[in-house]
Structure 1
Amino acid sequence: MPVISIANPKGGAGKSTTALVLGTTLAAHDATVTLLDCDPNRPIAGWARGGSSTAMKVLGDVGESGIVSAIDAERAARQFVLVDLEGTASRMVSRAIMRSDLVLIPMQASAVDAAQAARAVGLVQEEEQVVGRAIPFRVLFTRTSSAIPTRNEKMIIDELREAGIPVLTTHLNERAAYKSMFTYGQTLVELDPSLVNGLPAAKENAERLSGEIIELVSTLNRKAAA
């Protein structure tokens, strides 16, 4: 089953939010999902103690020495394995990328984030040389406006595509509901719309993102099998 790592050596790029939104949305559609929280701050492990009824399994005690065996064990038992990686280039990050079927690289639409996303692409390419196979990756823009894209955003997207770096069509928009997931320890489905602004739009955004990821993984699987 697919292993999807969320990686970027820059902190604050939206890795944990991406992992949580994607994992809980997949689980809401009855997919079996394990999320490995490998961020030293363990934000998703903390979220999991909030009492959500999601069927998503969260592992927050996986260290560098156990990352490969944990990924392999969960891959054998679950439909999706998501790995929320720490914001640095480490041996754990390297090992997770090597085991991945897809690497998501979240970034905000800024020059600083673009430079760090390029570093993440470099990490993936280094691991490709080690394992002797292609490791698919996609850049995911986070915290973008759902209305009109900024000129800066358009420029960075164009530069990435000109450089041959694939970018997901769907962005993870700036939504209060995504922050509220951590605040209340709940999934988007569980959040109270009377307490959280823009919840329907956040759900729709999450559905589009998960749908694009599912289609991408299916396409990659077909290519691998051909």
Structure 2
Amino acid sequence: MPVITIAQSKGGAGKTTLALALASEFEALGGSVFMLDADRQNSLLNWYRDRMNADRAGEGRITVEDASQLRDADIGPAIARARDAAQLVIVDSEGTSNFKTAYAAMDSDFVVIPTRSSRLDLERTVETSDMLGKMCGGVPYRVLITQTGQVARSKAEWEIDSQISNALPTFNEQMHTLDAFRAMSNYRMTLAEVEAAGLAKTEKARRIAQGILADILSEIQNKEAVNA
């Protein structure tokens, strides 16, 4: 089953929000998702535990396992087990540069590098890209610009976005700062659940997540067809 690793050596770029959004929309399609939380902050794991404690896990098509305490070399076997447990595996890596992230990427079918429109984020994104090139050659990846405003953007942000897209493979979509994305964490819900409960407008957030997920799965399928 496909494995997506979300990697960024700088914290605060929206890795966990992206992981939840992708899992939400894959589950909404009827699929099962196994998520490995390799970040010691355990944001994904806490989201899942709170859902379980509140009896809001639904049909249980999203599962989260703590991978933050695993040794670096043990992330590969954990991914292999997750492949057997669900139709999609998502690894939320730690917001630092480490070997566990590299090993996870090696065993993945696709890597997403989320980044904000800032000079520091751009520098860390280039570092992550270089790591993928040196240690994970052949694993496709794309950069996702996150936490952007829907309308108001500064000249500096536009310039950094342009530099990113000119230098690295980048999604056409950007992950805007939207109430629906925040609501997933605040209420321990998927996007579909947020929509059903009327807690935030979700149409744009779901369209963005669906578009990113479709691009990833399409690229994975294309690579598999070439290698077949």
Q: Matched residue pairs, number?
A: 220
Question: Is the CA contact (8 Å cut-off) linking 2:67 and 2:75 kept in structure 1?
Answer: no
Matched, 1:161 2:169: no
Matches for 1:184-223 after TM superposition, within 5 Å: 184-191=187-194, 196-223=199-226
Question: Is the CA contact (8 Å cut-off) linking 2:116 and 2:148 kept in structure 1?
Answer: yes
Q: Specify the alignment match of 2:146 in structure 1.
A: 142
Q: Specify the alignment match of 1:74 in structure 2.
A: 82
Counterpart residue type for residue 179 of structure 2: A
Q: Note the C-alpha offset of 1:67.
A: 1.1
Structure 1's unaligned 5+ residue stretches are none
Matched, 1:151 2:159: no
Provide the rounded CA distance (Å) in 2 between the counterparts of 1:221 and 1:43. 32
Provide the rounded CA distance (Å) in 2 between the counterparts of 1:224 and 1:30. 27
Q: TM-score, normalised by structure 2?
A: 0.88
Provide the rounded CA distance (Å) in 2 between the counterparts of 1:222 and 1:97. 20
Residues 194 and 100 of structure 1: CA distance in aligned 2, closer, same or farther (over 3 Å): closer
Matches for 1:1-226 after TM superposition, within 5 Å: 1-49=1-49, 50=51, 51-53=56-58, 54-61=60-67, 63-64=70-71, 65-128=73-136, 133-147=137-151, 150-163=154-167, 165-191=168-194, 196-225=199-228
Residues 18 and 197 of structure 1: CA distance in aligned 2, closer, same or farther (over 3 Å): same
SS of residue in 1 equivalent to 2:64: strand
Provide the rounded CA distance (Å) in 2 between the counterparts of 1:33 and 1:223. 26
Question: Is the CA contact (8 Å cut-off) linking 1:8 and 1:117 kept in structure 2?
Answer: yes
Provide the rounded CA distance (Å) in 2 between the counterparts of 1:134 and 1:56. 28
Provide the rounded CA distance (Å) in 2 between the counterparts of 1:194 and 1:124. 40
Q: Note the C-alpha offset of 1:159.
A: 1.7
Give CA-to-partner distance per residue, 1:71-129, whole Å, 9 cap, x none: 0112234321110000111121121111111110000111111111001101111213x
Question: Is the CA contact (8 Å cut-off) linking 1:172 and 1:209 kept in structure 2?
Answer: no
Aligned Cα RMSD in Å?
A: 2.0
* Greater CA drift, 38-47 or 206-215: 206-215
Question: Is the CA contact (8 Å cut-off) linking 1:34 and 1:81 kept in structure 2?
Answer: yes
Provide the rounded CA distance (Å) in 1 between the counterparts of 2:67 and 2:94. 13
Give CA-to-partner distance per residue, 1:125-162, whole Å, 9 cap, x none: 1213xxxx411110001111233655334322322333
Structure 2's unaligned 5+ residue stretches are none
Counterpart residue type for residue 217 of structure 1: I
Q: Note the C-alpha offset of 1:192.
A: 5.4
Provide the rounded CA distance (Å) in 1 between the counterparts of 2:154 and 2:203. 23
Q: Note the C-alpha offset of 1:169.
A: 0.8
